[in-house]
Amino acid sequence: MSGSALELAAAVRRGTRSAVDVLDEHRAAIEATELQIHAFNLVTAAEARAAAEEVDRTVAAGDDPGPLAGVPIALKDNLCTRGIPTTCSSKILDGWLPPYDATVVQRLAAAGAVPIGKTNLDEFAMGSSTENSAFGPTRNPRDLTRVPGGSSGGSAAAVAAGFAPLSLGSDTGGSIRQPAALCGVVGVKPTYGRVSRYGLIAFASSLDQIGPFANTVADAAQLLEVIAGHDPRDSTSIPEGPPAVSEHLLDGVDGLRVGVVTELLGEGIAPDVAARVREAAEALAAAGAKVEEASVPAAIYGLSAYYLIAPAEASSNLARFDGVRYGLRVNAPTTNEMMIATRTAGFGAEVKRRIMLGTYALSAGYYDAYYGQAQRVRTLIARDFAAAYEQFDVLLSPTSPTTAFAFGDKTADPLTMYLNDVCTIPSNLVGDPAMSVPFGTGADGLPVGVQVLAPALAEATMFRTAAVLEGAAP
Amino acid sequence: MSDRISRDAVAHVARLANLALTDDELDTYTAQLADVLAHAADVEALDLAGVEPTTHPYPLTNVLRADVVGPTLDRDEVLAAAPAVADDRFSVPTILGEAP
Amino acid sequence: MTTTLLPEGWELIVGLEVHAELATATKMFSAAPNMFGDDPNTNIDPVTLGLPGSLPVLNEKAVELAIRLGLAVHCSVEPSVFSRKNYFYPDMPKDFQISQYDKPINVDGWLELPDGTVIGIERAHLEEDTGKSSHMGGDGRIHGASHSLVDYNRAGVPLLEIVSRPDIRTPDQAKAYVSELRSILVATGASDGKMEEGSMRVDANVSVHHPGEPFGTRCEIKNLNSLRSLGRAIEYEARRQVDVLEAGETIRQETRHWNEAEGRTSTMRVKEDADDYRYFPEPDLVPLAPSAEWIEQIRADLPPMPAERRARLAAAAGVPKTTDSVAVIVERDLDGLALATLELGADPGRVLVHVEQNLSGDGSAELRPDLLAALIALETGGELTATQAKQVLADVVATGADPAEVAKAKGFEAMSSDALFTAIDEIIAGSPDEWERFRTGDQKARGKLTGFFVGQVMKATRGQADGGAVTARLNELAAG
């Protein structure tokens, strides 16, 4: 099933399909294959049913439930949902019921969407394969022997498997775009500050951004328009309304200046993936774009900077999981011992690794060499991107260096896993938007994603480029 | 094993982070952190004197909120989520030291 | 101020850190109420509890109050940044505290004590308060408790931490500094300054050294809940440090706890290398850069500060600004009355005496300046003695009646000179020894005996005599 969210919403708003009917259809899909895929930590059947019925009542009353009327949507399990377990796929939050909704969850409800469950992720969004979940990995719907990517592997898989036409993920170093590429769906990381982070359980505050997964570029655009826009509860929220993306989707790329990023197409990128990116560039040229090689020299430092900054912020963000106020507690005679026992039992290996790495990067005597230096590198990368955007409207690169890899392939060596994020990380460091669009398959027959990068706030340009690629995809 | 980070430094960092490590874990983490830090040598080696650090990707200043009381959480709902409570408060075992 | 506190050759060095809770309606980073004394865990929201996913948003009023205080103590208001101070503690919901670290909002100020001493202020920065732990099963103290209960109502309350330079040299100066700062906090509206409710908390950094040598190792003393505790604790700690050093030992840098009941400080925690707070800029908050217009508008709206009010009153009364009565009158907020009375031409000396000494009760602040001026006119015109004037004033404050009528109703009229001289002669005759010593003694002895004779005459005349007139007559008689 690969229903378009826009078509479903239109049918529900017209009254030609009921939201409950749409929900039932997707629940049947979940029942058919979820046991194999494990996209969800929790399917909220009863709440979804109630929401769908409410949408149908609204339509029956002659009112408009909103642009996503009756569209089932899966939520990454690091988005707070009131009264519904929110775990970050970590034992330390097992059983926690948030007493509030994330801003995006409120906006989805206001748009008539029907949340159907919480999706699996790498614990606290730290990983690129969803193998770091405390509740077991998610499988790639395109090939069950492969990972779906990560950390939003459950959200990508849910859309790829037809469990929901839309889902939300969060992207700190590629956690939306990379699984979107590996599962063959569209994934968007908006400009930092476009979408409120209020209610997103933080991994790295200055990098995290919530964004859409969808089967089509148009669906992703509609979802972005629903969730984006200023939120006074997030100090880093950009004081602007949602970007007008949908109305420019079909504007085409005639005359658009497109740069193919040399630094992200060389060593470490699988030849079949690189070939698809070149094809994508040719497709844009054929549609009237002016395509050239672009250089962002400092991008090569992105990975190192990211793996100092993100763990540093995470080490502080995850300090609050101490067994005092919510979540897991492992009893011990003193508070300090209780905190240590709780954190030691509650966090998985990758989370501990990053907490320690980040603690080290911030610690006395190392701050300047590591965290401070990494923040300066960020400035360097931002300058190089700014320079590139003087010549180009959008940039093109692979999303992931390879297609979906096998379980266990990269778990033995953390650094090998980290290298997976090399193409996606720069956008997070700089705060610019980027998205992954499916563009054919690799030599193994698995999906390849092409990444479209754009300057801050230029989502509209990015989306219309993506729409052309979508139409031209092999 | 690398000279990027010592076993003692990893043990110290684990203490700061309130994590307990077994000896084996200590060895493993020391090697793994050393690998990542070795990779970061490229960044460490850059001469960035005079380059301002970027702490926020999108530059905003003076984001302020009016001093107006808003909704509070329901105490019972919050305490129901806590591992241990007594007298409407969160209960913790003996605290050994004063706050800094 | 001189001190005999420490043995010859030692000097006390004190710097104070004052934490003032700002008088906002809501918390520093969220809309939960900032309210003292409510039921536990009622003033909480996701931000207060540091719930996963919650984000801080800065309270504009807290910033304004911080700037008000900063300007009032002559600080420069700077662009500032919030950082995270990372350490685990159960009363801190996020296990980090948001505080201004290397870029505080207010820097480089000073305040002037009533005695004229200037104390430097290094910085006054914004930070959030912690929750409150109650220790159960012991005697309420942390040691020996079986468990602790945490209330997060106070968590996130906006604090201004005002850090003085190490310019304080005596316990009295420390008390005067805190008292002055409290007056300024109240005058600016920044805080209610209530030490008893914990809305103003003081930590003292104390060290001793030989003048001319570098400062000694300092200890930080906590749990100073009153001015009295502050003075006693500093005095105790200074003596302790001198004893340690004179015994040839060294002072260890540590935090010490003041025990009011035992009157001593004891080790609370030793500063260790492990104190590594891993400060870094708070990524969830953006930089703060108050505009020049905003700062100037706040400055323009500031009421006059105590030092300025003391200077104005002193100038109007023609006395030095360090005069004790001036400080007392300003402290009691009666300088408006004093100034208005002076403007009506009343005798400055009598104005200061009456306002300082005879106007402490209810309704004093509402006394009409013209009535006080009329009373003083009766007094300086010889129609009322000082003692009578005090009694009349009490009635005037209570009833708002005209002083002349009150005096008449009380049957007060000035004693004739003849009657006064007769009374004086009788007292002298009855105290020949005292009179001889008054006549022949030095200045000091005469001063002492003046008091004796005035007292006797007052007693004999039931307060109708004028003290000044008695003194003048005594000196006249002694001179022969």
CA atoms within 13 A on the CB side of A405: 19
Q: Tokens 């999706």 label which residue?
A: A119
Instruction: Render pLDDT for A264-315 as a digit per residue (tens, 0 to 9).
Output: 998 899 999 999 999 999 999 999 999 999 999 999 999 999 999 999 999 9
Q: How much of chain A, in percent, has pLDDT values that exceed 70?
A: 99
Chains that touch A (3 or more CB pairs under 8 A): B, C
- In chain C, residues 315-354 whose CB comes closer than 8 Å to chain B: none
Q: How far apart are CA A115 and CA A108, in angstroms?
A: 8
Query: Cβ of B100: how many Cβ atoms within 10 Å?
Result: 13
Interface residue A416 vs chain B (CB under 8 A): no
Q: Between chains, do A319 and C95 touch, taking CB under 8 Å as contact?
A: yes
- Looking at residue C479, its pLDDT comes to 82
Interface residue A321 vs chain B (CB under 8 A): no
When the pLDDT of each residue in chain A is averaged and rounded to a whole number, the result is 97
C248 burial via Cβ count (<10 Å: 0-12, 13-18, 19+):
exposed
Instruction: Render pLDDT for B42-82 as a digit per residue (tens, 0 to 9).
Output: 898 999 989 999 999 999 999 999 999 999 999 999 999 99
Annotation says A133 is catalytic = no
Annotation says A76 is catalytic = yes
Chains that touch C (3 or more CB pairs under 8 A): A, B
Strand partners, C124: C106, C162
Architecture of domain A1-238+250-298+377-474: Alpha-Beta Complex (3.90)
Running DSSP on this structure, what letter comes out for residue A326?
Answer: S
Which of C88, C97, C147 is the best residue to mutate to test the A interface, defined by the most A CB atoms within 10 Å of its own CB?
Answer: C88
Q: Tokens 């390849």 label which residue?
A: A448
Report the candidate in A190, A109, A176 with the shortest Cα–Cα distance to residue A148.
Answer: A176
Residue among C55, C86, C90 minimizing CB distance to A316: C86
Three-state DSSP class for residue A69: coil
Q: Phi then psi for C384, rounded to 5 degrees?
A: -135, 145
Q: How far apart are CA A130 and CA A40, in angstroms?
A: 12
Min Cα distance B71 → chain C (Å) is 7
Residue C83 parent element (H or E): strand C82-86
Residue among A232, A239, A328 minimizing CB distance to B65: A232
User: Which comes out higher in pLDDT, residue C470 or A256?
Assistant: A256
Q: Peptide bond before A151: cis, by omega within 30 degrees of 0?
A: yes
Report the candidate in A445, A436, A437 with the shortest Cα–Cα distance to residue A403.
Answer: A445
- Looking at residue A3, its pLDDT comes to 66
Runs of H (alpha helix) within C264-385: 292-301, 306-317, 324-331, 335-343, 348-357, 369-380
Interface residue B26 vs chain A (CB under 8 A): no
Token pair recorded at residue A163: 């469990």
pLDDT at B3 over 80: no
Question: Is residue A169 within 8 Å of residue A208, measured between CB atoms?
Answer: no
Nearest CA in chain A to C44: A99
Interface residue C22 vs chain B (CB under 8 A): no
Token pair recorded at residue A441: 């398959």
Q: How far apart are CA A439 and CA A181, in angstroms?
A: 9
Give all strands (DSSP E) within C157-312, no chain letters: 158-164, 200-209, 219-224, 254-259, 264-270, 280-281
Quick one: chain A helix, strand, coil %, rounded to 5? 45, 15, 40
Annotated domain spans of chain B: 7-44
Q: Between chains, do A362 and C86 touch, taking CB under 8 Å as contact?
A: yes
Classify strands A257-261 and A290-294 as parallel, antiparallel or unpaired. Answer: parallel
Question: Is residue A393 within 8 Å of residue A100, measured between CB atoms?
Answer: no
Give all strands (DSSP E) within A122-182, no chain letters: 166-171
Classify strands C280-281 and C82-86 as parallel, antiparallel or unpaired. Answer: antiparallel
Please name each of the domains of chain C with its CATH number. 11-300 (no CATH), 306-410 (no CATH), 417-478 (1.10.10.410)
Report the candidate in A418, A372, A421 with the shortest Cα–Cα distance to residue A401.
Answer: A421
- Looking at residue C68, its pLDDT comes to 98
Report the candidate in A188, A246, A267, A192 with the shortest Cα–Cα distance to residue A451.
Answer: A188
Residue among C46, C57, C90 minimizing CB distance to B95: C90
pLDDT at B4 over 90: no
Q: How far apart are CA A226 and CA A68, in angstroms?
A: 8
Annotated domain spans of chain A: 1-238+250-298+377-474, 304-368
- In chain B, residues 3-22 whose CB comes closer than 8 Å to chain A: 5, 9-10, 12-14, 16-20
The region, left, alpha or beta by phi > 0 then psi within -120 to 50, assigned to residue A88 is left
- Looking at residue C4, its pLDDT comes to 58
Name the active-site residue from A175, A196, A397, A436. A175
Classify strands C106-112 and A72-76 as parallel, antiparallel or unpaired. Answer: unpaired
Question: Is residue A325 within 8 Å of residue C93, measured between CB atoms?
Answer: yes
Interface residue A240 vs chain B (CB under 8 A): no
The region, left, alpha or beta by phi > 0 then psi within -120 to 50, assigned to residue A459 is alpha
- Looking at residue C344, its pLDDT comes to 93
Give all strands (DSSP E) within C158-198, no chain letters: 158-164
Instruction: Render pLDDT for A82-97 as a digit per residue (tens, 0 to 9).
Output: 999 999 999 999 889 9
Nearest CA in chain B to C63: B64
- Looking at residue A310, its pLDDT comes to 98
Mind giving me the DSSP string for C301-329? HPPPPHHHHHHHHHHHHTS-TT-HHHHHH
Token pair recorded at residue A335: 């508070």
- Looking at residue A416, its pLDDT comes to 87
pLDDT at A320 over 90: yes
Q: Give me the mean pLDDT over the A133-162 stretch.
A: 98
pTM of the model: 0.91
- Looking at residue C1, its pLDDT comes to 40
Question: Is residue A414 within 8 Å of residue B35, measured between CB atoms?
Answer: yes
ipTM over 0.85 threshold: yes
Q: How far apart are CA C191 and CA C200, in angstroms?
A: 8
- Looking at residue B1, its pLDDT comes to 39
Vertex C292: Cα angle to C286 and C296 (nearest 5): 125
The region, left, alpha or beta by phi > 0 then psi within -120 to 50, assigned to residue A162 is left
Running DSSP on this structure, what letter comes out for residue A195?
Answer: B
Token pair recorded at residue B74: 């329901």
Interface residue A324 vs chain C (CB under 8 A): yes
Report the candidate in A183, A147, A145, A187 with the shortest Cα–Cα distance to residue A170.
Answer: A187
Three-state DSSP class for residue A26: helix
Q: How far apart are CA A58 and CA A66, in angstroms?
A: 10
Token pair recorded at residue C426: 């009788």
Question: Is residue B78 within 8 Å of residue A317, measured between CB atoms?
Answer: no
Classify strands A72-76 and A114-119 as parallel, antiparallel or unpaired. Answer: parallel
Residue A40 parent element (H or E): strand A40-43
Running DSSP on this structure, what letter comes out for residue C195?
Answer: G
Number of helices and strands (H, E) in chain B?
A: 4, 3
Q: Tokens 């980027």 label which residue?
A: A434
Q: How high is the mean pLDDT in each 10-residue block of chain C (480 residues)?
A: 72 97 98 96 98 98 98 98 97 98 97 95 98 85 85 98 97 96 96 92 96 94 92 96 95 92 88 79 98 97 94 95 92 93 94 90 83 91 85 90 88 76 89 90 85 87 79 86
- In chain A, residues 88-147 whose CB comes closer than 8 Å to chain B: 96-97, 99-100
